[in-house]
Structure 1
Amino acid sequence: MEGELQRRVGRNLRAYRQERGLSQEAFADVLDVHRTYMGGLERGERNLTLRSLEKLAAQLELDPLELLTERRER
């Protein structure tokens, strides 16, 4: 389905943010992005480049594949 990968990345970012107990704005600060960009990412509206995906993963100390892989419910 078109756009599913974008939505998956968004769901994963939201899950990592919620696990850390951070607001979208605080999480955007951690990732050094604007809060509205963060919201677009979480909603799956932003089409990330691979470079951007790598940058976000590095800032979260994750393998980039972790942002692309469907997470299991915890």
Structure 2
Amino acid sequence: MKDLSKQIGLAIREHRIAKSITQERLALMCDIDRSYLGRIERGEVNITVVKLSQIAQILEISIKDLIP
């Protein structure tokens, strides 16, 4: 399960960087703390499906693009 969290976090980070969005800006848009977003991107926490969907919408990608 830990590997899945890391893969999802890495995908979020890659798409965020590709869109030139800072971690702080994405966190504000998702209404979460920047440090929590950092933990998501490092795969240290299990993200909810609702929050994953919200991040995908903000990044203008399909939720499928974030799940390996």
Q: TM-score range by the shorter chain?
A: 0.7 to 0.9
Which residue type is aligned with residue 12 of structure 1?
A: A
TM-score of the aligned structures, taking structure 2 as reference length: 0.80
| 1:72 corresponds to | none
Q: Could you tell me how far apart the structure 2 residues matched to 1:55 and 1:22 are? A: 15
Larger mean CA deviation between 58-67 and 35-44 belongs to 58-67
Identical-pair percentage:
32
2:56–2:62 Cα contact (<8 Å) kept? yes
Identify the structure with the greater helix proportion: 2
Structure 1 unaligned runs (5+)? Answer: 70-74
| 2:50 corresponds to | 51
| 1:33 corresponds to | 32
State the superposition RMSD in angstroms: 1.6
Structure 2 unaligned runs (5+)? Answer: none
TM-score of the aligned structures, taking structure 1 as reference length: 0.75
Instruction: Spell out, residue by residue over 1:11-54, the C-alpha distance to the aligned partner (whole angstroms, 9 max, x if none).
Output: 01111121122322122123332101111111101101222222
Higher CA-based Rg: 1
Which residue type is aligned with residue 21 of structure 1?
A: S
| 1:22 corresponds to | 21
Q: CA deviation at 1:59?
A: 2.3
